[in-house]
Structure 1
Amino acid sequence: MSSHTSNVPSLPDITTEKNTQLGGKIDQVGMAGIAIPLSIKSSNDQLLASQVTVDVTVSLDDADAKGIHMSRLYNLLQMHLSNQTLTTDTLKPLMRALIESQAGLSSEAILTLHADLVLLRPALISKASGYQSYKMAITAHQQKAHLNLTLAISVPYSSTCPCSASLSRKALADAFTQKFKDKSIDAETVSAWLASKEGSIATAHAQRSFADVTLTLRDPELPDYTDIIDLIENTLGTPLQTAVKREDEQAFAKRNAENLMFVEDAVRRLHNAFSTYYQATYFHVKVEHQESLHAHDAIAQSSGTVIQR
């Protein structure tokens, strides 16, 4: 058997050439939307996500270079993340390798992991339960030897307008007066009327709403995702439900009545909740109420430095 030597010619690599067009440094250049099988787990080892999409960029510091070594970034993502579990120990060597792979062209790298966290959520009263999805993004920013991590989570909830609730109560009071004026009535009669269709005079308008919370993480260490989602939902009081029975739906209606809120109310609640949150050093909160009365939405934002206790 004779050996065979490949005669495939070497292929040109124009990225190694000097830039003959307009030169200049570039803050960030790279790729977006790369699919990677990567496990994200809760603090008690519950699987929350099994796939992410990744955006990765590095700085181009050499003004005369044509561009970065793009394929090296892609290969490093596959090497460090594919079929792994996300931890700080996973991220730190990857972020250093992204910069080192550019052979002196870059001093900065940014990596953002996008995922839908899926949590099993119980119903309010019954034994029913179902899975709720929460959009999440973790951004790692490496500058030379310094690494910063930020977490962004979007949590859906229900919001009922206090003004609409007040007007509904007034309409009911007016109808009650009209119905029973000059009549001697007992509690049983009033209860039966309120429970009938005739007693449904007006209802307050409610809408699906979203709380988008971004945290600059401490240390940096990856956070307890479930703890953050629980904090947001408990602070607002009206998280969206999954599987429900009638008693759960009634309990949800009661919660909305107990937690009437404008966007100003919602964002202030969250500002207060995260102003002392132990896993972060800085927070930004945005709430959006997707109006059912208007064709436009209502929004509010607030941010601040976390007070350490």
Structure 2
Amino acid sequence: MKLPDKSGNLSLPPKAERHKLFGSVSPGPKVKPVEKDAMADLQNTKKNFLFDIDAVGIENVKHPIQIESILEPTKQTTIGTFTFTSSIDKDSKGTNMSRFTEQLHEYYSSHSFTLTIEGLKKFTKDLAIRLKQRDATMEVTFPWFFERKGPSSDLAGLNHADATIKVTYHENDRYDIEVALSGTITTLCPCSKEISEYSAHNQRGIVSMRVKLTDQFDQAKTDWKQALLEAAESNASARIHPVLKRPDEKMVTELAYENPRFVEDIVRLVACDLYELDYVQWFEVKCRNEESIHLHDAIASITYDKAREK
């Protein structure tokens, strides 16, 4: 590099020379094919590769999506984090990874990729056909925003919960559909309330629910996001609010005091609500309290399968 001139400005070498300075070299001789049809396709090699593979694909794929909600805002654009997989038999070496993102972009371009159960069922079936496999799975997690008003002031703000949809297509038009939601609540400690002369400690709780939907689930009639959120919030000591004026805060703290809950109480009460939903076949509910007077968290969970009753 040259020394600065009298004006104090550097006289830089051309960009190509700068690249050479930092290790770039000229391209070497190229003898392999450049046309796709002439290139080796190792992934499509057929041989005995010893084991079937349950799932192979890609994950942590971020992409804009559109979702619909019964709560305001009823239409919203957010970011989905996708996982795409399929199984492969032991006579196949691998899968074609580019086909997953290729189909995602095609659907986004032609459908704006609004997440509906029926739309994702078609997506996974088309994906299995594209991959030439008997099954395909798509799982997407996204932040879902919903309006929440203060109980006294009626002032609104947006809360959010993490939502997930997982759809698996099996040959002969069979599907497994799971949805999940992780929402935040307030819990007040029953033990603290019982033993103290006054006051009681409370904390923020995270309720995570995963459910398997029956074939009869109708998204046109039910917003599963709102149903799961209500199962969590209606059984809490109090709901979380983005905007609270003093009259709101008084109502929320008094409500929490009137409805003390252990994590054990939360998962049992939420389980009751999920059990009563006729379109839920199987569910798992977990609660984790971020304790305000301990360094540890408190946890509890329940898994229940309605099929075992038959």
- The TM-score normalised by the length of structure 2 is 0.79
SS at match of 1:126: coil
Aligned-CA RMSD value: 2.3
Distance 1:156 1:90 in 2: 29
Give the superposition deviation at 1:68: 0.6
Q: Which moved further from structure 2: 240-249 or 224-233?
A: 224-233
Report the 3-state secondary structure (helix = DSSP H, G, I; strand = E; otherwise coil) of the residue aligned with 1:235: coil
Q: How many correspondences in the alignment?
A: 266
Provide, for residues 195-234 of structure 1, a one-character-per-residue CA deviation record: whole Å limited to 9, x for no partner.
xxxxxxxx32111101111111122544512233123212
Residue equivalent to 1:208: 204
State the shift of 1:92 in Å: 2.1
User: Does the 8 A contact of 1:52 with 1:113 survive in 2?
Assistant: yes
Q: What per-residue deviation string (whole Å, max 9, x for no partner) do you get for residues 74-99 of structure 1?
A: 11122224522122331122111221
Structure 2: which 5+ runs fail to align?
A: 1-32
Partner of 1:108: 135
Alpha-carbon deviations, 1:238-268, whole Å to 9, x = none? 1111111001111111011011111111111
Of 148-157 and 212-221, more deviation after overlay is shown by 212-221
Separation in structure 1 between the aligned mates of residue 176 and residue 183 of structure 2, nearest angstrom: 23
Give the Cα–Cα distance (whole angstroms) in 2 for the partners of residues 19 and 276 of structure 1: 50
Aligned partners of 2:118, 2:262: CA distance in 1, in Å?
42
What does 1:109-258 correspond to in 2, within 5 Å? 109-144=136-171, 145-169=173-197, 172=198, 203-219=199-215, 220-222=217-219, 223-224=222-223, 225-258=225-258
Using a 3 Å threshold, how does the CA distance of structure 1 residues 221 and 71 change in structure 2: closer, same or farther? farther
Give the 3-state SS of the residue equivalent to 1:304 in structure 2: strand
- TM-score (normalised: structure 1): 0.79
Distance 1:50 1:58 in 2: 26
Q: Tell me which residue corresponds to 1:57.
A: 85
The answer on whether the counterparts of 1:80 and 1:90 sit within 8 Å (CA) in structure 2 is no
Q: Distance in 1 between matches of 2:103 and 2:303?
A: 35
Deviation of the 1:19 alpha carbon: 5.5
**Contact between 2:209 and 2:228, CA under 8 Å: does it hold in 1?**
no
Residue segments in structure 1 that go unaligned for 5+ positions in a row? 1-6, 173-202
Letter of the aligned partner of 2:239 in structure 1? P
What residue in structure 2 maps to residue 94 of structure 1? 123
Q: How does 1:65-84 map to 2 (within 5 A)?
A: 65-81=92-108, 83-84=112-113
